[in-house]
Amino acid sequence: MQAELVLHVPSDVACIEEAVELVARHLEAHFIDRRTIQFNCRVALCEALTNAIVYGNCGDSSKQVSVKVLFGRTDIEMEVEDEGAGFDPYHLPDPTQPDRLTNPDGRGIFLIQRLVDEVRFNRRGNAICMILRRA
């Protein structure tokens, strides 16, 4: 059996916490390892939403961010899509390089890739799919 949760989040960083909590509550009901949900999922989703609102939609209040969560038998997929032009996720600077360590930006995708089991981007670069495998 597969279930789906869909949210449309306004391009306002003040809405991130509520959206993350709503998704986390649904994930806890479908995921055995609650620690994964309490930390990995929340941080990854928060980073993806922040990137979508701040960089993708440029904080434009007329735009929204779509969040789709698929609860499968073997994994959970969280997709975050903004209305922006997109970017090339394969040519991001490495935030661990010495000259980038003090830069306050540029760690979101890096963190997400370490917190979930798999990350995919759409061709346009305005959607990220984060996959958590069930323990």
Residue of 81, 7, 78, 79 whose CA lies nearest to 37 = 78
Residue 71's domain is classified under what CATH number?
3.30.565.10
Stated pTM of the model: 0.91
The residue behind tokens 């391009």 is 11
* Residue 31 scores a pLDDT above 70: no
Q: Across residues 23-51, what is the average pLDDT? A: 85
| Range(s) of the domain holding residue 62 | 3-133
Count structural domains, the chain. 1
Cα(104)–Cα(114) distance, rounded to whole angstroms? 18
In contact, 130 and 43? CB cutoff 8 Å: no
Q: 120 has which bridge partners? A: 129
